[in-house]
């Protein structure tokens, strides 16, 4: 069922998947929905990445383009200007793997050349040139489900069966990636919480996320501070959605997610320590 090779080789930096791992988010953007502008200089982004590693992050995800609902695309040169120096400096200062959150093949190439060891593609390699770039770079790739485009995806998301449709999409993207020459052991799936989905859709996917383990790949979950958490908790301010985010990611971990993409690393690491202690208790013998 679940891929038995419990690790990813991220450009020489190994990410073990024997237990849920925490991916710390470093958004080098002026407009990310929850922390836009907080780390949009190289110095601030590097300092934030170092802090997240100190807080216990097992890997970092560097993003130079906000994909929040209604966001506008960022030109290639601007995205490169934002992320490459941050990756270069962090790769020299931390030993954990670094992921690049992009769907542009040119950014993938520049980021890996700068020291990134994983590609996090919210478009699941659908951009022209992305499959070839990912195959040539040979680093793990996150394939995420999205319905529509960030600019309009939350207008009227609709599914006849959200689980079946997301499952079918991911199975198709896995096949397409393998046809492009990407080894299956280098693939990670992501249900894409909040990407063309209502809160009901997100909760159905979270509740049924074990269904996706049959695809035989590690699963990433990313609900951190998102609108659905705000709707469920009544917390309008994204930074105030920590407890709800931690709860959602614990549930995702219990249902098989092995990478949790979060803003609040310390709180998530603490919660996983409690979960691991309970998870370690042996099942009672059934004689
Ligand atoms: N694989 C994956 N990547 C993602 N990248 C960005 C966001 C959006 O969150 P954030 O980066 O905090 O906001 P913004 O896109 O506004 O920078 N969510 C995901 C996600 O759920 N999964």
ipTM of the complex: 0.97
Rounded distance from Cα 286 to ligand 1 centre (Å): 44
pLDDT of residue 193: 98
Tell me which long-range contacts 204-212 makes (C-beta under 8 A, separation of at least 24): 204/162, 204/163, 205/162, 205/163, 205/166, 206/248, 206/251, 206/252, 206/255, 207/255, 208/163, 209/252, 209/255, 209/256, 209/257, 210/255, 210/256, 211/163, 211/167, 212/166, 212/167, 212/170, 212/256
Mutation choice for ligand 1 from 37, 66, 67, 147, CB with most ligand atoms inside 8 A: 67
Q: Which candidate in 82, 104, 227, 261 is catalytic?
A: 261
Q: Is 99 in the pocket of ligand 1 (CB under 6 A)?
A: no
Q: Is 196 in the pocket of ligand 1 (CB under 6 A)?
A: no
Q: Which candidate in 68, 226, 227, 258 is catalytic?
A: 226
Note if 241 is an active site residue: no
pLDDT of residue 1: 46
- For ligand 1, atom 16: residue with the closest CA: 32
pLDDT of residue 5: 57
Atom of ligand 1 nearest to the CA of 223: 21
pLDDT of residue 248: 98
Mutation choice for ligand 1 from 222, 249, 263, 265, CB with most ligand atoms inside 8 A: 222
Mean pLDDT, contiguous 10-residue spans, the chain (287 residues)? 72 96 96 82 97 98 90 93 98 98 98 98 98 98 94 91 98 98 97 97 98 98 98 97 98 97 98 94 87
Distance separating alpha carbons of residues 119 and 107, to the nearest angstrom: 10
- For ligand 1, atom 4: residue with the closest CA: 122
Note if 261 is an active site residue: yes
Mutation choice for ligand 1 from 68, 73, 126, 173, CB with most ligand atoms inside 8 A: 68
pLDDT of residue 276: 93
């Amino acid at each position: 069922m679940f891929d038995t090779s419990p690790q990813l080789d991220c450009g020489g930096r190994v990410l073990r998947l024997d237990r849920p791992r925490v991916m710390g988010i470093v958004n080098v953007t002026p407009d990310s929905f929850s922390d836009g502008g907080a780390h949009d200089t190289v110095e601030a982004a590097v300092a934030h990445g170092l802090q997240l590693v100190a807080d216990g992050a097992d890997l970092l995800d560097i993003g130079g383009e906000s994909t929040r609902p209604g966001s506008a695309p960022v030109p290639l040169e601007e995205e490169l200007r934002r992320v490459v120096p941050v990756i270069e400096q962090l790769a020299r200062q931390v030993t954990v793997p670094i992921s690049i959150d992009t769907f542009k093949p040119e950014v993938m190439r520049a980021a890996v050349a700068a020291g990134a060891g994983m590609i996090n593609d919210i478009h699941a390699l659908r951009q022209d040139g992305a499959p070839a770039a990912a195959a040539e770079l040979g680093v793990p790739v996150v394939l995420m489900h999205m319905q529509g485009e960030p600019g309009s995806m939350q207008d009227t998301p609709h599914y006849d069966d959200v689980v079946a449709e997301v499952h079918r999409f991911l199975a198709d993207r896995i096949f397409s990636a393998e046809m492009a020459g990407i080894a299956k052991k280098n693939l990670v799936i992501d249900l894409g919480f909040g990407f063309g989905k209502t809160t009901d859709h997100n909760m159905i996917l979270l509740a049924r996320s074990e269904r996706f383990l049959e695809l035989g790949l590690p699963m990433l979950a990313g609900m951190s501070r998102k609108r659905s958490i705000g709707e469920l908790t009544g917390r309008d301010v994204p930074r105030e959605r920590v407890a709800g985010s931690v709860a959602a990611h614990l549930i995702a971990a219990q249902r098989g997610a092995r990478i949790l993409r979060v803003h609040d690393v310390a709180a998530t690491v603490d919660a996983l320590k409690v979960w691991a202690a309970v998870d370690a208790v042996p099942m009672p013998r059934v004689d």
